Structure 1
Amino acid sequence: MSIQLNEICKAFGRFQALKSVNLTIAEGEFVAILGPSGCGKTTLLRMLAGFEQPSSGEIRIQDKVVASAHGLTPPEKRRIGMVFQNFALWPHMNVYEHVQFPIRNHKETPSSIREHEDKRIKDVLELVGLSHLSKRMPHELSGGQKQRVAIARAIASEPSLLLMDEPLSSLDAMLRMDMRREIQSVHRKTRSAIVYVTHDQSEALAMADRIIVMKDGQIEQAGTPEEIYLYPQTEFVAKFVSKSNLVHGQWTPNGFFPDGAETGLPWTGEKISPYFKENGTYPVRPDQFELASDSTAGLQGTVANVQFQGKEFIYDIQSGAQQLEVVSPVPLQIGDTVTLSIPLQKPVKEKSYV
């Protein structure tokens, strides 16, 4: 089931929550909507679900208009499943009954599932690892088990589109890692399209086929996790997703020369967005820097802070007026003088500024 959003706008009074959003979601695709609070990602999800109506533009599912300024197809007629941030389980229903509910009540549930209800429920519970807990009540379940129930309920009627609104934000760190694997497994086995809203960059990078980065109600950048992480197109994406340092300097035909570098070793400009070249900056991820204490070929700095992280250290390096974050396995002390460089750079004989 393909989904198209065409020029979607949404206003709440004078506040413009969404501004001309265009997006296509392919059948079976896992799309993560990533952005900070207030960027419009949950409003976008609610429109896909049928809870909100666009102020302008239209949403098409299988080339049928389901939402526009003139009309709205209700959620129960869209063949969707939804997983909420707070689980939203009913306290008077056991696990089996939660999975049974959408099969009996969703108008778009296929007849093949309705006619074999018990088998479908058992298959879904087995898929999420809850077969042995089918008679448990919500208050008898752990946080991870409750989230599995929410996922099982969402996929029970075999939706073509599964919507997830920050489903792991209320879980602890270890449990979130486990649930990521569960959601990926469910996606592989059901092949439903998934739209997954999150503000957690690691979740989006780990699970999605494609990431949509949003800012101020608009799409800032869309691409594969690798494209978004390695090749940000704007300062916002570079900082929000890659946690990049924006090093100041000068762009030349030969590459980038950072301010404060002792020698003329340029940093390559391949695949760097024109945005950064126009603004005299270069995005460098914390793990991209090479640290050395016995070289002058690079950007000079002093260790201002150290955080030990087991197999690596997180350093704050003061270089001129800039403070840069660097992740490295090299052990250093506060006050040490270091040189920062980007690996695999090619030396040039002289600077030739444009």
Structure 2
Amino acid sequence: MSLSIENVTKKFNQTLALDHINVSIKDSEFIAILGPSGCGKTTLLRTIGGFIQPTSGTIRMDGVVCSDAKTMIPVEQRNLGMVFQSFALWPHMTVRQHVEFPMKSKRQRHISAQEKEKMVDYALKCTGLTALENRLPGELSGGQRQRVALARAIVGKPSVLLMDEPLSALDAELKISMRKEIQDIHKMTGATIVYVTHDQSEAMAMADRIIIMKDGKIEQIGTPKEIYCHPATRFVSTFVSKCNLIKGRWNGDYFQVLNEPIRYHDGEIAPVFHQEGLYPVRPEEIRLVTQGEGIPGVITNKQYNGREIHYSVQYGEDNFTVYTSANEEYEPGQNIKMVIERREAV
């Protein structure tokens, strides 16, 4: 199911939660809404789902108006599933009973009991819960409880699947395995997924496109690669994998580093960086050397991360983040030079 969000605004008293949001979502697309706490991403998700009515603007599903200032199709009449941050499981119900619950709604009354049983069996199989169907939530791990919430959301084969930070309560290793399961479910169901998160790695790993939000507005919409390699705003550049912003002056496509005889050329930097006299560089685009040309700095912090080492480098009043391979070791207090790679130095 395609979604069209047209000029949607939402106010809570005098607080502007959504400010003229416009985005089109294609059928079967996986969209991640990414942003810091309080940016409006959950409000947008709940508005799409019909839990909140927009103050102005229109939301259409397959061209049909489902929400605007005067129209509000009830949640239960929208063909969607919802996965909550808290899992929302009942302690007295087994895994199978949780998955069966949505099939008792009026929307599913045209389906025979035999077909409903097949749909429940399929949802349990998709999420790897068949062997656990008689267990209660208290007998399940965090990842298993999350899979129950997923199975319950997909059992009715919804056209739209809404997810509100579903992995936030899981540990780091479990999050990674659950990402793959969510991707697999997306492929199997073909549902349109709208996924809210404040974790950039989740959005980058799973989504077809990412919506970056800040203060109720959309900062940028694009594929993970577009967002990462070509940030459109200063906020996007620093929020999605910390970007170092080198100060200087632009002269056409050439950037002159402030107080250094170093120039770089790049015609794909967004106009906002030209206007602000900044040159965005990702941590892995900087190579550290002890001799030769480069931006001078001092190592102030070192963090070993297995395959790579993360350094903090002081340059004037600015602190840069640099990622190097594990075999390139420097020590705090050491003077180095920063060389920008994958850029054309002139």
Pairwise same-fold verdict (TM > 0.5): yes
* In 1, Cα distance between equivalents of 2:342 and 2:88: 51
* In 2, Cα distance between equivalents of 1:113 and 1:177: 37
Instruction: For residues 49-104 of structure 1, give each alpha carbon's deviation from its aligned partner in whole angstroms, at most 9, with x where no partner exists.
Output: 11100000111111111111112111110010000000001122111111111122
4+ aligned runs moved over 2 Å, structure 1 = 109-115, 344-348
Backbone CA RMSD of aligned residues: 1.4
* In 1, Cα distance between equivalents of 2:175 and 2:241: 20
* In 2, Cα distance between equivalents of 1:93 and 1:25: 35
Amino acid at match of 1:182: E
**Is contact 2:285–2:342 with CA below 8 Å preserved after alignment?**
no
**1:41-190 counterparts in 2 under 5 A?**
41-105=41-105, 107=107, 109=108, 111=110, 115-190=114-189
TM-score (norm 2): 0.96
> In the alignment, what sits opposite 1:314?
310
Instruction: For residues 311-350 of structure 1, give each alpha carbon's deviation from its aligned partner in whole angstroms, at most 9, with x where no partner exists.
Output: 21111111122111111122001121111121244454xx
* In 2, Cα distance between equivalents of 1:234 and 1:49: 29
* Structure 1 residue 152 displacement after superposition: 0.2
> In the alignment, what sits opposite 1:301?
297
Instruction: For residues 255-288 of structure 1, give each alpha carbon's deviation from its aligned partner in whole angstroms, at most 9, with x where no partner exists.
Output: 1121243x34x22222100000110001111111
Q: Secondary structure at the match of 2:264?
A: coil
Between the two proteins, what is the percent identity of the paired residues?
Answer: 48
Instruction: For residues 192-225 of structure 1, give each alpha carbon's deviation from its aligned partner in whole angstroms, at most 9, with x where no partner exists.
Output: 0000000000000000000000001011000000
* In 1, Cα distance between equivalents of 2:317 and 2:85: 42
Q: Secondary structure at the match of 1:287?
A: helix
> In the alignment, what sits opposite 1:194?
193
In structure 2, list runs of 5 or more residues that go unmatched: none
Structure 1 residues 22 and 106: CA distance shift in structure 2, 3 A:
farther
> In the alignment, what sits opposite 2:284?
287
Choose 44-53 or 247-256, whichever is displaced more.
Answer: 247-256
* In 1, Cα distance between equivalents of 2:345 and 2:53: 57
Structure 1 residues 93 and 344: CA distance shift in structure 2, 3 A:
closer
Residue number among 331, 338, 343 corresponding to 2:341 in the alignment: 343
Structure 1 residues 50 and 251: CA distance shift in structure 2, 3 A:
same
* In 1, Cα distance between equivalents of 2:310 and 2:204: 21
* In 2, Cα distance between equivalents of 1:343 and 1:77: 54
**Is contact 2:31–2:210 with CA below 8 Å preserved after alignment?**
yes
> In the alignment, what sits opposite 2:10?
10
TM-score (norm 1): 0.94
Amino acid at match of 2:283: P
1:327 aligns with 2:323: yes
* In 2, Cα distance between equivalents of 1:249 and 1:49: 46
Choose 272-281 or 111-120, whichever is displaced more.
Answer: 111-120
1:206 aligns with 2:205: yes
Structure 1 residues 191 and 114: CA distance shift in structure 2, 3 A:
farther
Instruction: For residues 139-185 of structure 1, give each alpha carbon's deviation from its aligned partner in whole angstroms, at most 9, with x where no partner exists.
Output: 11111000000000000000000000000000011110111011001
**Is contact 2:4–2:59 with CA below 8 Å preserved after alignment?**
yes
Structure 1 residues 252 and 180: CA distance shift in structure 2, 3 A:
same
* Structure 1 residue 304 displacement after superposition: 1.2
> In the alignment, what sits opposite 1:351?
none
* In 2, Cα distance between equivalents of 1:16 and 1:321: 35
In structure 1, list runs of 5 or more residues that go unmatched: 349-354
**Is contact 2:265–2:345 with CA below 8 Å preserved after alignment?**
no
Q: Secondary structure at the match of 1:53?
A: coil
